[in-house]
Amino acid sequence: MENGFVAIYWRDMVKFFRSKALLFSALIQPVLWLVLYGISMSSNISLFFPQGSNPPGVVSVNYMTFMAAGVVGMTILFTCLYAGQNVQFDKQYGLMKMIVVSPMPRSQILVGVTLGGITKALIQTTIVIAFGYVFGVHFFNGLTIVGALTAMAGVLMFAVTFSLGLMFLSTAIAMRVRDHNVSQAIITLLTLPLFFASNALYPLDSMPTAIRIASDLNPLTHFINGMRYFGIGPDFYSFGVRYSTSLEELFISLGFLVGFNIIMFLVAVRAFETTKEF
């Protein structure tokens, strides 16, 4: 006996690693963000934050390190939201019919596709962190090897938790929406506010209240909180702004992501149950 989700996952991975273009763009895109946006922002950061010097004696990090966490979050966001589209393609090419007339429970499709998305997200997270060192990103600064590995485990735990909910969401959209153009449009529409109404690229303290509230309800913000907590530290300065995250706040962020996952899981289950035509 073999579980069907393994087959779905296997196929996803085979196609991902086989398609050089897919693999290359998945790996190069986050690095390009880091290089193009990171370096140009870093060079101008003193213009935007003229008083942005950090007080002496505190942990301070450069803008590259600060925004690298945001780039990781963005990469996971994009990758996972688009990974669910595999389901849409299966529907479009009629493969989904083949799968749904098999005795395999439909939940296995969700599990397989979700695992595929998470794997891609984790590979990309690792790539961004690794490449980051070349461009002046200093994650896990001053940690021993054991400490760095533990912190990396923390980062990956947050990455998994974050991508899980996103995968449920994107798979649900792909399953429920019949037209692939509509499904793409919905996802594109989602990514933009999710990315910009968050703490990915800039501090939120001086933002209008509405955006601050939106950002607090944004799972990306909570992932980045966790990412920065483990990658940089609980208390640091960057271009004159202090970022401190207490253990309680860390758990609130984790709790938020778990809650997000539960809701998205229910949405996905509902989408799978109510879809009758493929």
Tell me how far, at minimum, the Cβ of 183 lies from another protein, in Å: 16
Q: Cβ contacts of residue 67 below 8 Å, gap of 6+?
A: 34, 37, 38, 41, 200, 201
Tokens (6 digits) for 260: 């997000």
Tell me how far, at minimum, the Cβ of 120 lies from another protein, in Å: 16
Q: What distance in Å separates the CA atoms of residue 124 and residue 130, rounded to the nearest whole number?
A: 10
For another protein, the closer of residues 5 and 265 by Cβ is 5
Residue 225 identity (one-letter amino acid): N
Tell me how far, at minimum, the Cβ of 102 lies from another protein, in Å: 5
- In this structure, the strands spanning 235-238 and 241-244 are antiparallel
Task: Name the residues that contact another protein, by CB under 8 A.
Answer: 1-4, 6-8, 10-11, 14-15, 18-19, 93-95, 97-104, 276-278
For another protein, the closer of residues 16 and 195 by Cβ is 16
Largest CA distance in the chain: 66
Tell me how far, at minimum, the Cβ of 89 lies from another protein, in Å: 9
For another protein, the closer of residues 96 and 151 by Cβ is 96
For another protein, the closer of residues 14 and 134 by Cβ is 14
For another protein, the closer of residues 142 and 276 by Cβ is 276
Angle at alpha carbon of residue 122, lines to 121 and 127, rounded to 5°: 100
**Residue 109 half-sphere exposure toward CB, CA atoms < 13 A:** 29
Q: What distance in Å separates the CA atoms of residue 160 and residue 162, rounded to the nearest whole number?
A: 5
Tell me how far, at minimum, the Cβ of 22 lies from another protein, in Å: 10
